[in-house]
């Protein structure tokens, strides 16, 4: 590594100063959107000296980054254990074949006192993680359900179609519109019996509905925590990207990016809760919770109704039951499935026979 390379741990206190001085948002590539950084400061589980990341800087330019912050593992008898999410591990392509990537990763593990959990990771680092002292929490499928041809994917798979961009774009628009009509017809009967209430923060009734459904989650949930997780101010809508000053490694900015939190109501009773982020063509589900199996199918109809209204192209989720129900009930173009493994560092001592399961909403900070 060069003499100009610096590895800088980032505490919450340091992040607060960086926001005040606009330290990280002066270069073309930044670790986080400023809205996400400000949102982190509002997390009551992060103390001022807790770590929010590790930066690799070369002449003030970002060349490596680990995004991390603490959370509470949900144990038996309402007990909690402090752990750190590792949410992003990135190295500049100029340093891919150097020790920088492993060095900054190990620095993050050390700062977290080895109390690391990882929700998922890229396939190209499988071999690295197999050699590290981690246990698998859970292995699950990640689903991307496409409800229309996706122009970017088609052009990526068939390179010659890059010269026919307008035609591929028209095909995407046509196929998506047709499937919206088909799927909208399929929800006509059930949607009449539902009503929705849209909220920015959980009220008492909504939290009372959610609380028992997440009592056994991997991460300990409270009303304040979920409100923070679903806070709309973590996102910044950008009308145009032409004069944008920087690009961010972590999601949080975009044209029309937004979150919606929905109470699903039937006969004046909450039967479901849905929270989703729309980002360009993506409909990313954060929370989907249903009171009981009897209401599951009709709440899936509510998901589809909101997906159609969003005019997105695909649904992204780790929820297997929801994905299979959507696939069986509605018309899709295709479904992409990828196995994802959640990891926990072996140094984290857990109660004997404690079964850990990670849900879609656990560690979902998109």
pLDDT at 97: 87
Q: What is the dihedral of CA 43, 47, 48, 54, to 10 degrees?
A: -80
Question: What per-residue confidence (pLDDT) applies to 241?
Answer: 80
Residue 86: per-residue pLDDT = 97
Rounded CA separation 355/101 (Å):
32
pLDDT at 329 over 80: yes
| pLDDT score recorded for residue 2 | 61
Percent residues over pLDDT 70 in the chain:
96
Q: 159 or 322: whose pLDDT is higher?
A: 322
Task: Map residue 195 onto helix, strand or coil.
Answer: strand
CA neighbor of 285 nearest in space, from 313, 248, 253, 260: 260
Residue 19 is classified by DSSP as H
Domain with CATH 3.40.630.30 in the chain: 5-118
DSSP state of 357: -
pTM, two decimals, is: 0.93
> pLDDT at position 154, please?
63
pLDDT at 315 over 80: yes
- Name the band, by pLDDT with cuts 50, 70 and 90, for residue 351: confident
In the prediction, which pLDDT does 63 show?
96
Name the band, by pLDDT with cuts 50, 70 and 90, for residue 1. low
Predicted confidence at residue 240, as pLDDT, reads 84
Whether the predicted pLDDT of 56 surpasses 90: yes
| CB-neighbour burial class of residue 141 (10 A; exposed 0-12, middle 13-18, buried 19+) | middle
Token pair, residue 100, equals 């920088």
Average pLDDT score over the chain = 92
Return the CATH number of the domain spanning residue range 5-118: 3.40.630.30
Residue-wise pLDDT for 265-304, tens only, equals 999 999 999 999 999 999 999 999 999 999 999 999 999 9
155 pLDDT higher than 70: no
CATH number of 143-340: 3.40.630
Helices of type H across the chain? 12-21, 34-41, 100-111, 126-130, 151-157, 165-186, 188-191, 204-210, 223-229, 296-310, 320-329
As a 3-state breakdown, the chain gives helix, strand, coil percent values, each rounded to 5, of 35, 30, 30
Give the span between the Cα atoms of 134 and 132, in whole angstroms: 6
């Amino acid at each position: 590594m060069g003499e100009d390379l610096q590895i800088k741990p980032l505490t919450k206190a340091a992040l607060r100063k960086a926001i005040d001085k606009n330290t990280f948002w002066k270069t073309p590539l930044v670790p986080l959107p400023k809205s996400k950084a400000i949102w982190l400061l509002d997390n009551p589980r992060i103390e001022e000296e807790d770590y929010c990341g590790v930066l690799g800087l070369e002449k003030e330019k970002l060349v490596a980054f680990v995004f991390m912050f603490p959370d509470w593992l949900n144990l038996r008898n309402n007990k909690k254990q402090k752990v750190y999410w590792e949410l992003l591990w990135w190295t500049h392509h100029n340093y891919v074949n150097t020790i920088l990537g492993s060095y900054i990763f190990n620095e993050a593990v050390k700062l977290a006192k080895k109390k690391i959990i990882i929700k998922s990771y890229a396939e190209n680092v499988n071999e690295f993680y197999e050699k590290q002292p981690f246990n698998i929490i859970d292995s699950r499928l990640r689903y991307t359900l496409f409800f229309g041809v996706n122009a970017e994917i088609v052009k990526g798979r068939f390179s010659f179609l890059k010269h026919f961009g307008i035609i591929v774009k028209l095909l995407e628009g046509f196929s998506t519109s047709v499937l919206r009509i088909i799927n909208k017809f399929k929800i006509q009967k059930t949607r009449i019996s539902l009503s929705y209430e849209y909220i920015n923060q959980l009220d008492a009734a909504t939290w009372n509905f959610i609380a028992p459904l997440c009592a056994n989650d991997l991460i300990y949930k409270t009303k304040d925590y979920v409100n923070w997780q679903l806070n709309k101010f973590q996102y910044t809508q950008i009308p145009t990207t032409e004069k944008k000053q920087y690009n961010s490694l972590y999601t949080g900015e975009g044209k029309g990016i937004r979150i919606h939190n929905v109470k699903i109501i039937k006969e004046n009773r909450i039967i479901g809760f849905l929270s989703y982020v729309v980002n360009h063509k993506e409909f990313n589900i954060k929370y989907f919770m249903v009171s009981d199996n009897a209401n599951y199918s009709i709440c899936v109809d509510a998901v589809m109704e909101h997906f159609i209204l969003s005019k997105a192209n695909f649904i992204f989720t780790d929820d297997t039951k929801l994905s299979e129900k959507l696939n069986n009930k509605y018309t899709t173009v295709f479904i992409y499935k990828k196995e994802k493994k959640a990891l926990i560092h072996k140094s984290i001592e857990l109660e004997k026979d404690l079964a850990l399961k990670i849900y879609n909403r656990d560690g979902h900070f998109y």
